[in-house]
């Protein structure tokens, strides 16, 4: 059902601990070898290649790669009223949180007439990827779009895989979510090819495409599988990216106070995403570990996507990790750097404050990851595969850049001119100093 890893009584270095912890066997480095030719082909062949790849990977050849306006109207008209209400509530909560994320500029006066200002400027255009293979993610539309809108980005484009059941267009619920958010530039393009299209643009090849199907963007964001993550790595530098958000993962740090049904249900909730999804329990309680194992079996076999869940739980990326104490557990989850980390221990809030490496932390028995996936108000596009050691989840900060503005008067520059000259000469760059001296 799920592997066990016993770290009790072991003293491991940071490197040894990272190597011991469960991870998916397919790594971004491996996927990049398969993705590189796709990126090159999209760049050279444009819409023709996008249609060929859709036929190859999605089983449908889209007539319209850019979604026509009528499809949004139809999708919104057919949306279940309860689903619409849930989408609108999520938009409201996510918008409230992300509005508070807007960074503030500042002005520093270093001396009379010597001023440095910083202002935050949104990027001009973003490409937002919404996966749509094994599941449908209108929630990811919201997470991407709202963050970009609250950052003030003037041009937004969304891409999501074409669906055979929807005449080669993205899923109707995806289109309805876009309509509710006021986004009308949406492409029926999935996977690594969507990242390539955003990074380099794509020329049209059929009448309905126009001469240019899609203009290039400045930043690409959004979750996806390991191939999407690999594509983002390969185009980084051509465009900005949020993080290499690959297949989902959950880690739960729990002690004997945790409820085994809660823990098992939460592990399964993320395993439901993908057979390669990672579900990891770190616990100091052997009793809890045993109880969770028993519940996993019952719950996994009875859930709708049982085959997918069972495969994910039995994979090398999932495990129950036994530790001596919550203290050791903190070290383990910090080394793991989970996309989603639940804290189900006594004094969970205090334990959460000691965690440095996680995409998002969910505190206590009533803050499950499923809450964050939808209506917590936080963003569910988060770094995976250990990238939480250096990357943040998606937010307003993903779509803005800091611009520094320097303004000195003649007197202010004159006061430090000799020091600048000295510094320039010390670096053997005398023309730098001369550029100051010439003004006096």
Q: Any catalytic annotation for residue 249?
A: no
Is position 386 within any domain?
no
119-135 in b/e form (b: 16+ CB < 10 A) is: ebebbebbbbbbbbeee
One pLDDT digit (tens) per residue for the chain, 440 residues: 899 999 999 999 989 999 999 987 667 888 999 999 999 999 999 999 999 999 999 999 999 999 999 999 999 999 999 999 999 999 999 999 999 999 999 999 999 999 999 999 999 999 999 998 777 899 999 999 999 999 999 999 999 999 999 999 999 999 999 999 999 999 999 999 999 999 999 999 999 999 999 999 999 999 888 899 899 999 999 999 998 777 899 999 999 999 999 999 999 999 999 999 999 999 999 999 999 999 999 999 999 999 999 999 999 999 999 999 999 999 999 999 999 999 999 999 999 999 999 999 999 999 999 999 999 999 999 988 898 999 999 999 999 999 999 999 999 999 999 999 999 999 999 999 999 999 99
Same structural domain for residues 201 and 255?
no
User: Catalytic pick from 244, 249, 272, 339?
Assistant: 339
Is position 88 within any domain?
yes
Structure token pair of residue 206: 């059929």
Is position 397 within any domain?
no
> What's the length of the chain?
440
Same structural domain for residues 211 and 359?
no
205 CB-contact burial (10 Å; exposed 0-12 / middle 13-18 / buried 19+) = middle
Is position 384 within any domain?
no
Of the residues 193, 224, 241, the one at which a domain ends: 241
What's the confidence (pLDDT) of residue 26? 63
Task: Check which CATH number belongs to the domain holding 265 and give it.
Answer: 3.40.50.1980
Q: Which residue range(s) make up the domain with 17?
A: 3-23+246-377
Is position 390 within any domain?
no
| Phi, psi for 121 (deg, rounded to 5) | -120, 130
Is position 174 within any domain?
yes
Q: Are 214 and 198 in contact (CB under 8 A)?
A: yes
Whose tokens are 């070290």? That residue is 331
Same structural domain for residues 13 and 82?
no
Task: Give alpha helix (H) positions in 381-429.
Answer: 410-426
* H or E, element range at 34: helix 28-45
Same structural domain for residues 65 and 127?
yes
DSSP string for 217-278 = -SEEE----HHHHHHHHHHBTTBEES----S-EEEEEE-TTS-HHHHHHHHHHHHTT-TT-E
Same structural domain for residues 221 and 308?
no
Is position 385 within any domain?
no
Distance, CA of 234 to CA of 253 (rounded, Å): 34
Binding residues for Zn(2+): 270, 273, 373, 432
User: Catalytic pick from 98, 171, 262, 340?
Assistant: 340
Same structural domain for residues 332 and 229?
no
Same structural domain for residues 123 and 226?
yes
Is position 18 within any domain?
yes
Same structural domain for residues 67 and 130?
yes
Q: Any catalytic annotation for residue 339?
A: yes
Q: How far is CA 133 from CA 137, 195, 273, in A?
A: 9, 15, 10
Of the residues 208, 241, 274, the one at which a domain ends: 241
Distance, CA of 144 to CA of 409 (rounded, Å): 43
Question: What 3-state class would DSSP assign to 414?
Answer: helix
The number of folded domains in the chain is 3
Binding residues for NAD(+): 129, 193, 225
Same structural domain for residues 155 and 44?
yes
Same structural domain for residues 104 and 233?
yes
* Strand blocks (E) in 57-124: 106-111, 114-122
- Total Cβ atoms within 10 A of residue 249: 32
- Total Cβ atoms within 10 A of residue 339: 31
Same structural domain for residues 37 and 165?
yes
Binding residues: 129, 193, 225, 248, 270, 273, 340, 373, 427, 432
Of the residues 332, 362, 377, the one at which a domain ends: 377
Same structural domain for residues 33 and 16?
no
Binding residues for substrate: 248, 270, 273, 340, 373, 427, 432
């Amino acid at each position: 059902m799920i592997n066990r890893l016993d770290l009790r009584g072991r003293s491991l270095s940071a490197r040894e601990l990272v190597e011991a912890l469960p991870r998916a066997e397919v790594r971004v480095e491996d996927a990049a070898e398969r993705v590189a030719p796709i990126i090159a082909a999209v760049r050279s062949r444009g819409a023709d290649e996008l249609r060929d790849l859709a036929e190859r990977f999605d089983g449908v050849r889209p007539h319209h790669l850019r979604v026509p306006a009528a499809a949004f109207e139809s999708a919104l008209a057919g949306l279940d009223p309860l689903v619409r209400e849930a989408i609108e509530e999520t938009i409201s909560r996510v918008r409230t949180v992300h509005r508070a994320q807007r960074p503030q500029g500042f002005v520093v006066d270093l001396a009379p007439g010597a001023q440095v200002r910083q202002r935050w400027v949104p990027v001009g255009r973003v490409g937002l990827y919404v996966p749509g293979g094994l599941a449908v993610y209108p929630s990811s539309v919201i997470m991407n779009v709202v963050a970009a809108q609250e950052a003030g980005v003037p041009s937004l484009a969304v891409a999501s895989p074409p669906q055979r059941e929807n005449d080669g267009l993205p899923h109707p619920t995806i289109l309805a979510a876009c309509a509710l958010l006021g986004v009308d530039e949406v492409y029926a393009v999935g996977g690594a090819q969507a990242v390539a299209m955003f990074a380099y643009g794509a020329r049209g090849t059929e009448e309905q495409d126009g001469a240019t199907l899609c203009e290039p963007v400045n930043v690409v964001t959004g979750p996806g599988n390991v191939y999407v993550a690999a594509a983002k790595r390969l185009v980084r530098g051509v465009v900005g990216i949020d993080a290499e958000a690959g297949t989902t993962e959950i880690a739960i740090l729990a002690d004997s106070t945790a409820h085994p049904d809660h823990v098992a249900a939460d592990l399964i909730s993320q395993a439901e995403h993908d057979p390669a999804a990672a579900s990891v329990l770190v616990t100091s309680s052997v009793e809890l570990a045993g109880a969770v194992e028993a519940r996993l079996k019952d719950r996994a076999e009875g859930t709708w996507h049982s085959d997918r869940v069972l495969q994910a739980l039995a994979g090398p990326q999932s495990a129950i990790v036994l530790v001596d104490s919550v203290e050791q557990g903190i070290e383990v989850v910090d080394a793991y750097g989970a996309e989603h980390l639940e804290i189900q221990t006594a004094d969970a809030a205090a334990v959460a404050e000691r965690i440095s490496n996680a995409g998002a932390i969910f505190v206590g028995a009533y803050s499950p990851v499923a809450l964050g996936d939808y209506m917590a108000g936080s963003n569910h596009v988060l770094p995976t595969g250990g990238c939480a050691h250096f990357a943040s989840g998606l937010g307003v900060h993903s779509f803005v850049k800091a611009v520094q503005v320097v303004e000195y008067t003649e007197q202010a520059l004159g006061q430090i001119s000799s020091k600048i000259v000295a510094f320039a000469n010390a670096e053997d760059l005398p023309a730098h100093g001369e550029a100051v001296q010439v003004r006096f």
